[in-house]
Structure 1
Amino acid sequence: MSAPTHDCTSDPSPSTGTSQPDRERHTLLLIDPDSPPCKLVQSALERLGYAVTVRDNGVQAIGEFTSEEYQLVVTDLHLPDMGGLEVLRKVKHLSPDTPVMVLASDSEVDDVVQALRLGASDYLLKPIADEGVIDHAVTRIMEARDLAAENRKYREQLESRNRELNEHIELLQRDHEAGRQLQQHLLPRTPYEYPAGIKAEYRLLPSLYLSGDFIDYGLFGERFVAFYLVDVSGHGVSSALVTALIKHSIMHLLRERPLFSQLNTLDQDLTEILEMINRELLSTRLDKHASMFVGVVDSRARQLHYAVAGQVPMPVLVTSDGAEWLGGKGRPLGLFQHGGWEVRHCSLPASWRLVACSDGVLELLPGDLLQKEECLLQTIDRSRGDLGSLCAALKVDTAESFPDDITILTLRQDER
C-alpha cells in the first residue's frame, strides 16, 4: 500500500533563531509525515534557512534524489518500504559527498552505530524535545560539508598547479638538456695532441645542467698553442650564456685579424682579448663578471706567455723540480674599465705540465683559503700534473654533486 506524498516546500523565514537566507538549498527529508518529529525537524530546518522537501517513503525519495538538488539528507531509520540503512547506502552510492543525518529511536542504537560506519554524518534520537538539538547538529554537518568542499576545491587547485609546475619543470629540463648539449658542442675535443707535441686535456663538471666555466684551445700556425679558462660568476643558464658570448666574441676577433701569428705581437694579443671581453661584459649590463687565465705556448722557443684576470687559484707549473704557482695579477673582467692586466713570460723545460683550475675545485678541499690552496698545490705535485690522477685524488669523478662548477685544464709537453 502506498502512502500519500506530501510536498512541504517553503521559503526560508528567518523570524527566529539563526537564519541563513543566502542558502538556496533543498533538503530531502525521509520520515513518516504523520509523526510529530517530522514537523519539528521541518520547522527547525526552515528556520535555519533551508527549503524542505518531504517524502514519506525511501523508494520515491531515492528516485528523486540528485546531489545538485539536495545538499542534505535526513532519513528516519524506520521507513515503510525500505530500511533507513539502505537509503543511506544508496545516497552514498549516488553521491558520496552528500551528508546524511539519521533519526532513530532509543531502541535502534545498534542501527545508529551501523549508520555511522556506513558514512552517516550524525544522528538524532527520538523523541526530540528541543529544536536547538537539531539546529546544532545540522549546522555542524553543513559547516563540515562546506569545509570539505573548500578542501576539495583547494586540493583540486593544488593538483592543477602541481601538474602545471611539473610541465614547466619538464620543459625547463628539456631546455637545460638542449643547452647542455649545445655547450658541450662548443667545447674542444679532449684529449687533443697538437703536432708540436703539446697535449691539451680537461675535465668540466657543472654544478647544474649548464656551466659558468668554459675552456678552449687551438693551434695557431705551427708553433703557437693558445688557450683560456674562464669562470663566470653565478651558476646555471645566465652564466652559461655569458660563456657562449665570450666564445663568440673571441671567434669574432679572430676573424677580424690574425691573432697569435707573430712572436712580437703575442703579448698584445693576450691583452686585447682581456680588454675585449671586459668591454663586452660591461656593455651587456648582465651583472656578471668573470675570472680568466689566458695564455700561449711557444713550442719552438719553449716559452709560456700568459695573463690572469682575477684568477683563483693561480695556475700551477709542474716540472722535475716540483709544482709551483705561476705569478701574476689583474682584476676580474666585467667590473672595472681598466683591469691592470699584465702579460708574463715563463721559460719551459723539455718536459712540463701546466694545470689551471676554476675556484670550484677549492670547494672540494678542507680549511680556509690558504689551506685549500696549499692542499691543492700538494695534490697537483703528487699527481705530477696528470689529469686522471689529479681528478682521482680530488674525488672529482666519484662525487654526486658539487657546490660550484669544477673545471681542470692541463697542458703538457714531454721531452722527445
Structure 2
Amino acid sequence: MVDFHSLLLIEEDQPSREFVRRALARLGYQVTVAQSGVEGIGKFAPGLFRIVITDLHLPDMGGLEVLRKIKQLSPETAVVVLSSNSQVGDVVQALRLGAADYLLKPIEDVAVIDHAICRITQGETLKQQNREYRDELERRNRELHDHVEVLQRDHQAGRLLQQHLLPRTPYQYPGGIEAAYRLVPSLYLSGDFVDYGLFGERFVAFYLVDVSGHGVSSALVTALIKHSIMHRLRERPLFTRLDALDSDLLEVLDLVNRELRSTRLDKHASMFVGAIDSGARRLHYAVAGQMPMPALVTEGAAEWLPGKGRPLGLFDRGDWQVLCAELPASWRLVACSDGVLELLRGDLLEREAHLLHAIDSSRGDLDSLCAALHVDTCEAQPDDIAILTLRQG
C-alpha cells in the first residue's frame, strides 16, 4: 500500500537538494534522498513512494531515463522533474513521457514546491475517488445484473405457470366445434387470458378477458379470475341446462366483478363470455366493456356482434345483458383484446374497420388472421394481444 506521505527526491546538487527536502519536510512529507539516477532507481519500488522528484541533469544517467524507468515500473506514480531554463526541450519530452509537473531551478520560493505538490496530491485524491466511484458503480451494476437475472427467472417461471393455466390450442369438441387462440404478451406475462371447455354434451363455454395494465400484477389477476370461475364450477355446475344458460353467463360476470372490487388491486377488466349450444346452433353471449366487439363470420361478410355492458371491477353492477345469435351450419367466431387495435393505423373507427376487413378476408382462420395483422412478427407490442376463435363446419 502506498505511503501517501513518502516521497523520493533524486538530486545531485546539494544546495538544491536540501532546499527541496526541507520544504517537503515542512509540508509533512517523509523524504528519501538519492544523489544519482542509479541510486534513485535502486531505492524506488512500486507502491513505496507517492511522488518522485528527479533532476533532469544527473551525473550517471539522464533524468528522462530515470522518468522512463519509473513509469515502466509504476505507471501510477507521479513524477516531478527539476530543470533549468536551458532544458526546456527536455521538460517538454518529460511531460510527453508522463511527468506530472516540472519545477525550474533555481528554486527560491517554497510556495512553488507547495503548489506543485498540492496540485498532484489533489489530482491523486480525485483519481482515487474516481476509482472508488467506478468500483462502487461496477459493484452496483453487478448487483443490478444479478437482480435483473432473478426477475427474469421469476418472470419466466410465472410465464410457464400462466401458460400451464391456459387451455390446449387448437382443441376439437364433439359436434365439430374447434376452439383456438393466440396470446402474445407485451412483457413476460400477459394481462389477457382465454379459456374454454365442454359442459355436458352440447354446451361449449368460453371467455376472453383483458385485465388493465401489464406484467405480473395483471397476470396474477387473470389467475385469480380462472381460480374463481373454477371454484364456482366445483360448487355449482354451470352451463348444463338450456334454461339456465343466460343466468350462468351473468353469474360469471358478476363473480369476476365482485372479485376485482373486493381485492382492491385498482384493476378493472373487459370480458367477452359466451356459450355455444351445439344442439340448437345458437350462441349465447354477454360483453363487459369489450372492445373491439366479437365478430361473426358466415357465408356473407363478417359482422360485429351487437351488445354493451360496463367493464368489470368499476361498478357494483354492470347492467350486462345476454344476447343470442343463430348460427348457420358453417360459422367462425373471432374475439380480440384491444391490443390488436394497436397493430393497426388510423383513429379508432378506422382501426376497427381494418380489423373487420382482416377478419373477413381471413374468414376467421386464426393463423391467416395473425399473419395478416403481423401478430407474430411485430417486434414491440405496446399492449398484450389475445385472439380467440371458435368455428364449426
TM-score, normalised by the number of residues in structure 1: 0.88
Contact 2:9–2:21 (8 Å) recurs in 1: no
Q: Which moved more, 1:210-219 or 1:57-66?
A: 57-66
Q: Take 1:231 and 1:80, find their aligned partners in 2: how far apart are those partners?
A: 87
Q: Which moved more, 1:106-115 or 1:386-395?
A: 106-115
Structure 1 residue 197: Cα displacement: 0.7
Structure 1 residue 408: Cα displacement: 0.8
For 1:363, the equivalent position in structure 2 comes to 342
1:346-373 CA-partner distances (Å, limit 9, x unpaired): 1111111111000000111111112211
For 1:177, the equivalent position in structure 2 comes to 156
For 2:181, the equivalent position in structure 1 comes to 202
Percent identity (aligned):
70
Task: Give the partner amino acid of 2:151.
Answer: L
1:335-391 CA-partner distances (Å, limit 9, x unpaired): 112111111111111111111000000111111112211221122122211112211
2:170 to 191, 209, 214: 191
Q: Take 1:190 and 1:28, find their aligned partners in 2: how far apart are those partners?
A: 78
Contact 1:31–1:56 (8 Å) recurs in 2: yes
In the TM superposition, structure 1's runs of 4+ consecutive aligned residues that sit over 6 Å from their partners are none
Q: Take 1:64 and 1:174, find their aligned partners in 2: how far apart are those partners?
A: 56
1:26-65 CA-partner distances (Å, limit 9, x unpaired): 2423233753222332344345x33231312455555555
Q: Take 2:45 and 2:339, find their aligned partners in 1: how far apart are those partners?
A: 66
Change (3 A) 1:253 1:134: same
For 1:102, the equivalent position in structure 2 comes to 81
Contact 2:289–2:311 (8 Å) recurs in 1: yes
Show the 5 A alignment for 1:236-275: 236-275=215-254
Q: Which moved more, 1:388-397 or 1:224-233?
A: 388-397
For 2:382, the equivalent position in structure 1 comes to 403
Show the 5 A alignment for 1:119-268: 119-268=98-247
Task: Give the partner amino acid of 1:314.
Answer: M
Q: Which moved more, 1:62-71 or 1:324-333?
A: 62-71
Q: Take 1:404 and 1:267, find their aligned partners in 2: how far apart are those partners?
A: 31
Show the 5 A alignment for 1:267-416: 267-414=246-393
Change (3 A) 1:286 1:67: farther
Q: Which moved more, 1:259-268 or 1:77-86?
A: 77-86
For 1:56, the equivalent position in structure 2 comes to 34
Change (3 A) 1:255 1:62: farther
Q: Take 1:285 and 1:59, find their aligned partners in 2: how far apart are those partners?
A: 81
Structure 1 residue 169: Cα displacement: 1.1
Matched, 1:26 2:26: no
Q: Which moved more, 1:38-47 or 1:138-147?
A: 38-47
Q: Take 1:337 and 1:385, find their aligned partners in 2: how far apart are those partners?
A: 35
Contact 2:202–2:277 (8 Å) recurs in 1: yes
Contact 2:339–2:383 (8 Å) recurs in 1: yes
Aligned residues: 390
Contact 2:56–2:83 (8 Å) recurs in 1: yes
TM-score, normalised by the number of residues in structure 2: 0.92
Aligned Cα RMSD in Å? 2.1
1:212-265 CA-partner distances (Å, limit 9, x unpaired): 111011111111001000111111111111111111111111111111111111
Q: Take 1:61 and 1:168, find their aligned partners in 2: how far apart are those partners?
A: 51
Structure 1 residue 398: Cα displacement: 1.9
Structure 1 residue 305: Cα displacement: 0.8
Contact 1:28–1:65 (8 Å) recurs in 2: no
Q: Take 2:140 and 2:278, find their aligned partners in 1: how far apart are those partners?
A: 60
Change (3 A) 1:34 1:111: closer
1:304-328 CA-partner distances (Å, limit 9, x unpaired): 1111111111111111221111111
SS of corresponding position for 2:8: strand
Q: Take 1:175 and 1:200, find their aligned partners in 2: how far apart are those partners?
A: 30
SS of corresponding position for 1:388: helix
Q: Take 1:25 and 1:97, find their aligned partners in 2: how far apart are those partners?
A: 13
Q: Which runs of 5+ in 1 are unaligned?
A: 1-23
Q: Which moved more, 1:354-363 or 1:334-343?
A: 334-343
